[in-house]
Structure 1
Amino acid sequence: MAIENDLIPVNTLGVQDEETGKWIPVDAVALRSHTDRLTIEEILDEFSSLNNQNSSLEQSIGNIEEIPTPGNSLSEKFSKEIGQLFSNPMWYGAKGDGVRDDSKALQNALNNKGNIYMPKGKYLIKSTLVVLGNTRIVFHPEAEIIRGASIYCSFTNGYPEDKFLAYEGNGNIEILGGIIDIKGNEIKSNGGGIVFGHARNITIEGVTIKNPYNIHHIEINACENVMINKCSFLGYYHSGTRAFSEAIQIDLAKSYEVFPVFGSYDGTVCKNITIKHCVFNNVGAGIGTHNPAEYTFHENINILYNTFTNLLHHGVSGLIFKNFRINGNSFLNCYRGIYLAWSYDGKMDNNVIKDSSNHGVLIRKTNKVTINNITVSRAKGVGISIYEDSGTININQAHIEYGKLLGINIDCNTTTVNNCIIKYNNDNGIYIHNSATNNKIFGGSIYGNGKHGILITDDANSNQIKDVRIFANNQLNVNAGNVIILKNASKNRFESNTVRIGDMDKKPLYGLFIAGTCTDNIVLINDMKNSGTSYSYQSDSTSTVTQAVNIL
């Protein structure tokens, strides 16, 4: 049997015929496949084209062998290069199906630090995720972290055994986008969203956090240089005694009870915190703290252009704030709009507070604060209440209207109310009392209030009312007047004001009345013509100083 039919000549370019099985040299017949017939010239043209493509690829990316990333092939090098740019939890086994526990896979990705990308999916976690320093987490808009067990928080930046000091913990962290659902409606144990401590340079932007239980959507404890921007805080559940818990808590490293995540407890406060363009809806309190500390302040706190709606407690709770700004915020149907205590050196501009179930603004033990262009409407408590050792509070161009109680309560010293409109509140427009001293009401209008326009009483002394238009008060028809000075109120000055009876249905009994127990009050250059149904001006005190230039 001849063997030449079974051999393939090694130096002959050819092809095996698919029908006969014989080897046919390419110079004798066209190459043949299932669909195309190619001559040797056409094959050489194809190889030439491929060589040109490889040359073009090499020109684009350089010599593949010169790419420093380890790897034997282009795909292997690219895979490792991308891995250096960011980590994807899917590479570590995350499923993102909302059923299987992805905690381990997510933590393995986070351990790489650098850039972490969270693809679209629902990531169930049953262990708290620890974010190390120099980490940037970028969420797909539909990537969601779901708390699936009784863990204290979803993200933190330290382990229980860590003992960081000051701001030297894991910092330089960014969390961008995504959703964190703490499932407080289902898991009835203390559970929050992001809890960071002892760090600097933290950015949280575009994140939606919802449904914590008893604690905070975000806690920033002993941190410096923090930006929280364009985030949403939705829903809150508690055991019945924690309505005051803030969606964003700004706190100090005071004790394990305050921060039960990691140490140390060195008393470090927060500095340079900015929270802006965020939405708070159906939560406990909005922003702040409920933990005071003696002679200690969180410094440079900026709360800007946020919206607070349907809160169980304060919109902003500014305890131990120093050098702070609370500007451009909107508060609707909150327990209180803004609460300040033990705070110093602040400014609050262009805030709008409507339908508070308690006071609009409550200030106690606080000094050196300026409030500009605030609107407080339909508060069920006092519009603005200032008391308990507060001082140097300046209120400019406020509108306080339609409240159930007082417009402004002043139980303190050195408050100035300048060019404000206080109208249609059910109680007194302004109430100065309890030995309040050296307060000033300058300019503006006070009218249509249910009781007195201004009541100065209970040993209040050395207060000044000047250039104010006061009219049409006593709208509850309770024998009230436009301005009343009672009960040992002394050395108060009433000057250059315009007082009128007004044209509303109910009329004030007095333009200005001073009781006989009051001494050394001064009444100068006022226009009080036709300002009360009983008297335009009546002083029962023999020591009142008046001048004939008062118009009566």
Structure 2
Amino acid sequence: MRRRSFLSRASLLGLPFFASQSAAASQPVEGRAAPSNVRQFGAVGDGLTDDSAAIQAAVNASLHVYFPAGNYLVRKKIDLRSGSSLVGDGTAMLRTDGTSYILSAVGRIGARRPLRKDARHGDKQILAAASTGRQYQGAGGFLLQSEEIPLGHPTHRAGELGVVSSVNRDEVGVSGLVLADYLLADNAMAAPVTFVEGVSIRGLRLSNDNYAKNPSKVTSALIYLEFVKDFRVCDSSLQRNNSAGISAFNCVNGVISQNSIGQLRDGGRGILGYGVQIGFSSQNITVSGNTISECRHAVTTGTGTKSSRTPNHGVSRALTIVGNSISNCTNAGLDTHEDSDGVTITGNSIIACDPVGIHARSYRSSISNNTITSCTRMGIRISKTAKDTVVSGNMISGIRRGPSGGDGISIESQAVTVTGNRISECDRHGIAVMGDASTDISITGNSCSNNGQFSGGDGINIDRRGPISRLTVVGNTCVDLQTRPTQRSHFKIDPRTTLSKSDCLVTNNNFSSPAKSRS
């Protein structure tokens, strides 16, 4: 039986990734039993007594734990289990003065077993002895580990998650894996995964005292989740930490919503300070309706590093970032690393982030209907690795120059569509195409007005500095109606850029005076 008959199309359709249990069966079951009051287990909540042991006892004894108003000092991380539901009254504070997590849920990885290649299918088939395959079957998940050779897609790394769906003689079927662009190495391995399932955190406030007392001390995320399935973190406050607010690695089917997250910095290592961090083989996670400010990145996807628990990268897929209010981040409001794929960013408000509002490095991203204002250097940056990205319906204004830049949308990649955006009053260009990788670019139906506020930039600027092919510029409106126009040109092609006459199209645009179009 061939591999493709085994693989489900769930991951391509954005459907729930695992089929071992229904989502409803593994969701938190609040309401089935009255929650236990953490005070009944000896928690004091006076801000002085270490309540770690009492809180852990409550979690171990009851799936549902309630925190009344109080200041609960946690000096040892609280380990959550499947079905754990922590609910606060909205003012209950969990704080630490240490370097570890406050709340943690971590699944287990079983022993790794070898897979072998199948030359008939270009090394894309997964094979194993039937006895080995049956050991995977019924496990909560399946982690593929392989030092593979990617075929043209920099996001595709080893460490994918799936579920064994069938065993037929010597072949193992795996649902949800995206392997069409892999060459599996001869030393490919697989390991069964046991998830922590159905974790819920709601109505709590978390913080770390080191934020004020030891600003350079490296700490851990306030909430840490790894190999967790069907989780929710809602209606909580995560503030003041020298690390991340929430880290979710190798997690599946999660919601992070309606939280207040802020005052998070890197603790001196330059790689932390994330409001929400989603990495490795995480799938189907939504970050929605949060207010996030004063972080390095409000939300970051992918990690760009290998997991400490597995010797692989992994690719985060089917992530949605929607309806968040983001401000005053010191690196980027939203950042998608190259080891994430299919990220949807829509309906967010991003204000005063430096150096960019949204930095897309991930493959097949969709960036739509966001409002981006008063950021420094770039509103949206489409980096070299962000192939097959669509940027549509965004409102971008007031992008300041800083040491460089000042562009509403900056494009440095291939196969990028920019359509229906409104870009105004940026210090340099409304839309800029640059870099040696830029090709197959479609710019249609955008409005660029009153740009070039600082340096006399252009509405649309093509600065490829070399040959460019498959460029489409159609139906755009570029105007400058200010009393003293600042937009140097409505449309400009740098003299060092060479257009292919056979597949480049510039037509039906409204490039109105007083600025000129130049090439």
Same fold (TM over 0.5): yes
- The equivalent residue for 1:309 is 327
Residues 286-343 of structure 1, C-alpha deviations (whole Å, 9 max, x = no match)? 10146226995311110000000111121111113322211100000011111111x2
**1:394 corresponds to which letter in structure 2?**
T
1:395 and 2:444 are equivalent in the alignment: no
How far the C-alpha of 1:241 sits from its partner, in A, is 5.1
- The equivalent residue for 1:370 is 390
Distance 2:420 2:386 in 1: 21
Aligned equivalent of 1:208, options 234, 237, 258:
237
1:379 and 2:328 are equivalent in the alignment: no
Distance 1:446 1:332 in 2: 24
1:274 and 2:286 are equivalent in the alignment: yes
Distance 2:376 2:359 in 1: 13
Distance 1:243 1:407 in 2: 30
- The equivalent residue for 1:221 is 249
- The equivalent residue for 1:177 is 203
How far the C-alpha of 1:160 sits from its partner, in A, is 11
- The equivalent residue for 1:436 is 468
**1:155 corresponds to which letter in structure 2?**
L
- The equivalent residue for 2:218 is 189
Contact 2:219 2:267 in 1 (8 A): no
Contact 1:327 1:349 in 2 (8 A): yes
Cα root mean square deviation, aligned: 2.4
1:456 and 2:477 are equivalent in the alignment: no
Residues 496-519 of structure 1, C-alpha deviations (whole Å, 9 max, x = no match)? xxxxxxxxxxxxxxxxxxxxxxxx
Residues 380-404 of structure 1, C-alpha deviations (whole Å, 9 max, x = no match)? 22111111xx222111211111111
Distance 2:258 2:85 in 1: 17
**1:108 corresponds to which letter in structure 2?**
A
How far the C-alpha of 1:186 sits from its partner, in A, is 2.1
Percent identical among aligned pairs is: 19
Aligned equivalent of 1:328, options 344, 347, 362:
347
RCO higher in structure (CA 8 A, sep ≥6): 2
- The equivalent residue for 1:131 is 80
Q: Relative to structure 1, is the Cα distance of residues 295 and 134 closer, same or farther in structure 2, using a 3 angstrom cutoff?
A: closer
Aligned equivalent of 1:338, options 351, 355, 358:
358
How far the C-alpha of 1:85 sits from its partner, in A, is 3.8
3-state SS in 1 of match to 2:247 = strand
Distance 1:371 1:168 in 2: 38
How far the C-alpha of 1:445 sits from its partner, in A, is 1.1
Distance 1:375 1:291 in 2: 28
Normalising to structure 1: TM-score of the pair?
0.64
Moved more, 218-227 or 413-422: 413-422
How does 1:290-305 map onto structure 2 within 5 Å? Answer: 291-292=303-304, 296-305=314-323
Contact 1:246 1:288 in 2 (8 A): yes
Give unpaired runs (5+ residues) of structure 1. Answer: 1-81, 253-268, 475-481, 486-552
Moved more, 363-372 or 185-194: 185-194
Contact 1:344 1:366 in 2 (8 A): yes
Contact 1:130 1:159 in 2 (8 A): no
1:484 and 2:518 are equivalent in the alignment: yes
- The equivalent residue for 1:468 is 509
Contact 2:394 2:421 in 1 (8 A): yes
1:248 and 2:276 are equivalent in the alignment: yes
**1:231 corresponds to which letter in structure 2?**
N
How far the C-alpha of 1:194 sits from its partner, in A, is 0.3
3-state SS in 1 of match to 2:399 = coil
Contact 1:289 1:317 in 2 (8 A): yes
How far the C-alpha of 1:122 sits from its partner, in A, is 0.8
1:231 and 2:259 are equivalent in the alignment: yes
Contact 1:246 1:289 in 2 (8 A): no
Moved over 4 A (4+): 159-167, 293-296
3-state SS in 2 of match to 1:415 = strand
* Alignment size in residue pairs: 376
Distance 1:369 1:84 in 2: 46
- The equivalent residue for 2:130 is none
Give unpaired runs (5+ residues) of structure 2. Answer: 1-30, 112-140, 144-192, 306-311, 401-405, 481-485
3-state SS in 2 of match to 1:107 = helix
**1:326 corresponds to which letter in structure 2?**
I
Distance 1:338 1:83 in 2: 42
Distance 1:191 1:271 in 2: 23
Distance 1:100 1:451 in 2: 65
Q: Relative to structure 1, is the Cα distance of residues 162 and 127 closer, same or farther in structure 2, using a 3 angstrom cutoff?
A: farther
Distance 1:209 1:249 in 2: 13
Aligned equivalent of 2:68, options 119, 122, 141:
119
